[in-house]
Structure 1
Amino acid sequence: MSRIAGPRLFFLAMPPPAWVDDTLVRLARLGVDKRLRSALFAPANWHQSFSERIFSPTEEECAALLQVGSAVSASACTLHFNRIDGSGDLPGRIHWTMRARGVPKPFAALLQEVRGRLCDAGFDRIATGVTPHMTLSYCARDTLDKIVLDPPIAWTIDELCLVIGGGDPYRYDVIGRWPLLPEIDPPATQSGLF
């Protein structure tokens, strides 16, 4: 079933395949895969958004956002997903999401840099205020109070990508990628934050 129509252009970060594989093993131990079944968003598409989408982008919009991406200068940041929750109003429209507690300063700085560059280029409408998260399902049938992830699942975002999402099955085609600067004072552990 195709839930998403038309191509969409936006900034995101995607975890490497080895991280996805390890996380899938962890989620399987918790029974998440069995509870979501076919409602599990394709793991190859898991991501952290950094902008809203432009639907059916023009070549000019693609070129302009490639320039925005190349102007971004920010440090890598590590997220620690400590829980999964699921909320929504209608069955089949419920999101199950891995969440990190709080907003790490390096994440906020990266988001602010992307937002600032988008606004400078005249793309105020797609500048966003996302929180650290990764959506596992956009169409779960049931809500979920909370699954605690102990220990948390750490992911270092070290690259910003510009993608076009689309196709059947839905996928992200990376049209631009930019490595982030080394993480400033990466946390050895943040267990006290969880």
Structure 2
Amino acid sequence: MAAMPPPTLVDYIGALLDRFGLPQRLGSALFAPANLHQSFSERIFLPTDEDCAALMQVGAAVSAASCTLHFNRIVGPASTSGPIHWAMRARGVPPAFTALLQAIQSRLVQAGFGHIATGVTPHMTLSYHAPQPLDKIVLDPPIAWTIDELCLVIGGGHPYRYDIIGRWPLLPEIDPPATQAGLF
């Protein structure tokens, strides 16, 4: 279970990464921008047709509100012990994100998928195997993304990609983020 940003946001993030020179620094370790996503569960490697059918029912049963994340930084670990992950991280954890995650986890457990119903934080991975640590990059202004759709994706192929096999709209956002009115 995941959320996939719309193409316009993917393009914007790609241009932003270019501006910071991250594709050159990461090379082939860069997560393909088309694969950017917010995870809501762990993966099932080699899912069966029965797994996919059951997960489609899970997605259809989730009832939760949309939520807006504000990505305000790109970070990596300070040391090089273990795999070096770079990710865009969001400011805080909106209550609607927590409620959405809990709704998904609850449905996964009910359907017998408790082993993939894990906690996640608001983030989008840029690399699982970066060649070097990364000093924090502040994103100002933050990148806002309203997650308004839940997706079931299957990863695979060469080059690796996510194919969306199910999508379900989320309810309208309960507490949309405050916006600043135009100055007169």
In the superposition, the TM-score normalised over structure 1's length comes to 0.88
* Distance in 1 (alpha carbons) for counterparts of 2:101 and 2:89: 16
Is residue 158 from structure 1 mapped to residue 154 from structure 2 by the alignment?
no
Amino acid at match of 1:148: V
Query: What is the aligned partner in structure 1 of residue 132 from structure 2?
Result: 142
* Distance in 2 (alpha carbons) for counterparts of 1:103 and 1:77: 10
Greater strand percent: which structure?
1
Query: What is the aligned partner in structure 2 of residue 7 from structure 1?
Result: none
Matching residue within 169, 177, 185 for 2:167: 177
Query: What is the aligned partner in structure 2 of residue 116 from structure 1?
Result: 106
* Distance in 1 (alpha carbons) for counterparts of 2:31 and 2:163: 16
* Distance in 2 (alpha carbons) for counterparts of 1:173 and 1:27: 23
Q: Is the deviation greater in 116-125 or in 29-38?
A: 29-38
* Distance in 1 (alpha carbons) for counterparts of 2:67 and 2:76: 25
Query: What is the aligned partner in structure 2 of residue 46 from structure 1?
Result: 36
Please list every run of 5 or more consecutive structure 1 residues that lacks an aligned counterpart in the other structure: 1-10
How far the C-alpha of 1:89 sits from its partner, in A, is 2.0
* Distance in 1 (alpha carbons) for counterparts of 2:136 and 2:166: 35
* Distance in 1 (alpha carbons) for counterparts of 2:75 and 2:175: 29
Matching residue within 106, 109, 130 for 2:96: 106
RMSD: 1.4
Matching residue within 81, 96, 110 for 1:89: 81
- Percent identical: 74
**Deviation digits for residues 41-74 of structure 1 (CA, Å, limit 9, x no counterpart):** 1000000000111111111111111100000001
Amino acid at match of 2:132: D
How far the C-alpha of 1:159 sits from its partner, in A, is 0.5
How far the C-alpha of 1:30 sits from its partner, in A, is 2.0
Query: What is the aligned partner in structure 2 of residue 188 from structure 1?
Result: 178
Query: What is the aligned partner in structure 1 of residue 7 from structure 2?
Result: 17
How far the C-alpha of 1:189 sits from its partner, in A, is 4.5
Amino acid at match of 2:141: P
Count of aligned positions: 178
- Helix, strand or coil at the partner of 2:108: helix
* Distance in 2 (alpha carbons) for counterparts of 1:16 and 1:174: 13
Query: What is the aligned partner in structure 2 of residue 5 from structure 1?
Result: none
In the superposition, the TM-score normalised over structure 2's length comes to 0.92
